[in-house]
Amino acid sequence: MSDLHENVSMQPWRGFASDNYAGVHPQILEALTRVNSGHQVAYGDDSITAELDERMAALFGRPVGVYPVFNGTGANVVALSSIMNQWEAVVCTNTAHIHMDEGGAPEKVAGIKLWTVPGVNGKLTPDLIRSAAHDFGFVHYAQPGAVSIAQSTEMGTVYTVEEVAAISECAHELGLRVHMDGARIANAAAALGVPVADFTINAGVDILSFGGTKNGMLMGEVIVVFNPDVVHGVEYFRKSFMQLNSKMRFASAQMIALLSEDLWLKSATHANEMAQKLKSAVEKIPGIAIEVPTDANAVFARMPEEVVERLQSKWRFYTWDSPTLVRWMCSWDTQESDVDAFATDIAAEMAARNAN
């Protein structure tokens, strides 16, 4: 049996597969030690979680409901359940994480049906919402109860403040509530350059999954309740749906560290910049097309399959739906040198291929 120390002494590496592949930001790791003395009441009645409440209130400009959970899927399913009736359905894009990447958790844990619509670069619009939100009162059609949008989206695009506001307005007119999946909300905030409140609480969003894991936390997301009038039972759903962290101080401390000194925005800004750098480097290479606007920290590029395969033998990244569409994610720890090296390899492989 090998020893852990040896095992991880192998050469560290970084790739462009996912912001989940990155580790924990050192300031966040330090925060764990700082709160690790003595006992604290479990399950959230601790002083550190109380502190997180204040931080979130400050961030959003007024008191909000704050519910740390384990992961993004958990945040989404608990948040959606708390704004819906049990018989209702959620309108989202067909590229949404809740549809494509959560192993059916909304359906299997909470019985939530999804009404999916195509999306435009991964984004929902009022017209698309209306195309699915109809037949109110007709029992045969699972009744639309909420809209869920991701900010930034699975396609790396970012809703403008106006787009979010228009979606909320449309949803509310129809009697639907609005959930935002903010697994990468920091990247959206960094991209938009406006206060996060502007495109959330002040843009009509009712409940938010505020992401931490993809932005340098060890694990943890926070459900943030903006509109308590349409939200019910978050604390019970969190427990019953197995997302209640017993030693919650360690989750809250991570999020506090993330919010401190704008670490969340600095990390996201850096990741976004690395994506821009990568995009700039590859978009001029003949034979490569940027398929989706690079608003945040993801680059979606179309390129020959054989080049994809050769690159994947050296670098970790995923294709997306098609063997010729690649997704390259940058993260808080992506180095300029990583981008340079990767872009150089891409250019070389493309050149070799084009030479044939």
- Rule CB under 8 A: which of 225-244 touch a copy of itself? 232-233, 235-244
- To a copy of itself, the closest distance from the beta carbon of 57 in angstroms equals 8
CA quadruple 180, 181, 186, 187: dihedral positive or negative?
Answer: negative
* Binding of a copy of itself by 41 (CB under 8 A): yes
Q: Which stretch binds a copy of itself (CB under 8 A): 170-178, 191-199, 254-262, 269-277?
A: 254-262
Element (H, E) at 225: strand 221-225
Comparison of 85 and 354: residue with beta carbon closer to a copy of itself: 85
Strand partners, 180: 149, 208
Q: Which residues contact 290 (CB under 8 A, 6 or more apart)?
A: 279, 282, 283, 299, 300, 301, 302
- To a copy of itself, the closest distance from the beta carbon of 88 in angstroms equals 8
- To a copy of itself, the closest distance from the beta carbon of 68 in angstroms equals 11
Nearest to 215 by CA among 238, 190, 187: 187
- To a copy of itself, the closest distance from the beta carbon of 6 in angstroms equals 9
Nearest to 164 by CA among 226, 214, 107, 105: 226
- To a copy of itself, the closest distance from the beta carbon of 340 in angstroms equals 17
Q: Amino acid identity, residue 242?
A: M
Binds a copy of itself by CB under 8 A, chosen from 18, 27, 121, 227: 18
Binds a copy of itself by CB under 8 A, chosen from 7, 313, 337, 356: 7
Binds a copy of itself by CB under 8 A, chosen from 66, 79, 81, 152: 81
* Binding of a copy of itself by 219 (CB under 8 A): yes
Q: Which stretch binds a copy of itself (CB under 8 A): 32-40, 269-277, 281-289, 292-300?
A: 32-40
Q: Which residues contact 100 (CB under 8 A, 6 or more apart)?
A: 94, 154
Structure token pair of residue 122: 């991964």
- To a copy of itself, the closest distance from the beta carbon of 80 in angstroms equals 12
* Binding of a copy of itself by 22 (CB under 8 A): yes
Which DSSP string corresponds to 87-130?
TEEEEEETT-HHHHSSTTHHHHHH--EEEEE--BTTB--HHHHH
Which DSSP string corresponds to 258-315?
HHGGGHHHHHHHHHHHHHHHHHHHHHTSTT-EE-S---SSEEEEE--HHHHHHHHTTS
Site for a copy of itself in 107-136 (CB under 8 A): 107-113, 116
Site string for a copy of itself, 83-112 (x = CB under 8 A): --xxx-x----------xxxxxx-xxxxxx
Site for a copy of itself in 278-307 (CB under 8 A): none
Dist. CA 220–CA 210, nearest whole Å: 9
- To a copy of itself, the closest distance from the beta carbon of 183 in angstroms equals 10
Structure token pair of residue 65: 């409901």
Comparison of 245 and 294: residue with beta carbon closer to a copy of itself: 245
Question: b/e map of 35-54 (b: 16 or more CB within 10 Å)?
Answer: beeeebeeebebebbebbee
- To a copy of itself, the closest distance from the beta carbon of 160 in angstroms equals 28
Site for a copy of itself in 309-338 (CB under 8 A): 316, 333
# binding residues, a copy of itself (CB under 8 A): 98
Binds a copy of itself by CB under 8 A, chosen from 27, 32, 195, 290: 32
